[in-house]
Amino acid sequence: MLLSLLMTKRPKAPIQKGPWNKGKAVGQKAPFTPDQVQIIRSLLVTEEKVRDLALFNVGIDTMLRASDVLPLTVADVTDHQGGVVSEIQVRQQKTNQGHLVALSPATQDSLADWLLQSSKRGADFLWTSLGNRKTHSHLSRAQYANLVKQWAELARLNPKRHSTHSMRRTKSAVIYDQTQNLAACQQLLGHKSIGSTAVYLGVDQRKALDLAKRIKL
């Protein structure tokens, strides 16, 4: 009897479907500070990484998700004369909503340098591997994430604490710190609700920590 029980096949555990981190508190990746942004930019210039500098600047400026920044084409960021524009319209893949983002003069200049060096035109993807600039595929999210970790290492930061969300959160975190304008951050991030923006920026958590620091026992 015991032998037959041992030989009985146990039912297989159901295969987990959906996002691996659904319902789990995995923690947010840290944004870059303004000083760290300047360090990374300076090092990318020094090492003459023209594509990386342009991608870094666009990621910081636009605060776009990786799914929206990676498919950008030359036509998305230039006018009919080939000049880099100061504002671009993006349709967000996550929400399917149109979203207007701005490019600073420094970012426009770095993009222009990359377009000149890479000879990209029209429907070409902006962000492709350096070894195959004419490829029909843009950088993958994994490749983008690896670049972000490399940039973190340039600034002597722990790469495990930074990801593509660090790029998206950096400028919005600075804007909130300086203005406390959560509604503006919501618009810039393209969130549907202001509550989502508060959670994304860790606003409530930050207030709680500040309060804890003020209370003396």
Domain CATH code at residue 190: 1.10.443.10
Burial grade of 73 (CB within 10 A; 0-12, 13-18, 19 or more): middle
Q: Is residue 10 part of a domain?
A: no
Q: Are 95 and 190 in contact (CB under 8 A)?
A: yes
Q: Are 59 and 87 in contact (CB under 8 A)?
A: no
pLDDT value for 34? 95
pLDDT value for 97? 87
Q: Is residue 27 part of a domain?
A: no
Q: What is the pTM of this model?
A: 0.80
Report the C-alpha gap between 167 and 198 in whole angstroms: 17
pLDDT value for 50? 96
> What residue numbers bound the domain in which 162 lies?
34-204
Q: Is residue 56 part of a domain?
A: yes
- In a 3-state reduction of DSSP, which class is residue 203? helix
pLDDT value for 144? 96
Q: Is residue 105 part of a domain?
A: yes
Residues facing 78 on adjacent strands = 84
Q: Is residue 168 part of a domain?
A: yes
Q: Is residue 182 part of a domain?
A: yes
Q: Is residue 18 part of a domain?
A: no
pLDDT in tens, the chain (217 residues): 544 544 454 445 444 444 434 444 345 788 999 999 999 999 999 999 999 999 999 999 999 999 999 999 999 999 999 999 999 999 999 888 899 999 999 999 999 999 999 999 899 999 998 755 555 689 999 999 999 999 999 999 999 999 999 999 999 999 998 988 988 988 899 988 888 888 888 877 666 666 666 766 6
With both helix axes pointing from N to C terminus, report the angle between 203-214 and 194-201 in degrees, rounded to the nearest 10. Answer: 50
Q: Are 125 and 73 in contact (CB under 8 A)?
A: yes
* Tokens describing residue 158: 């722990």
Q: Is residue 17 part of a domain?
A: no
How many domains, in total, are found in the chain? Answer: 1
CA distances in angstroms from 64 to 42, 94, 165, listed in the order given: 22, 11, 9
Report the C-alpha gap between 198 and 215 in whole angstroms: 23
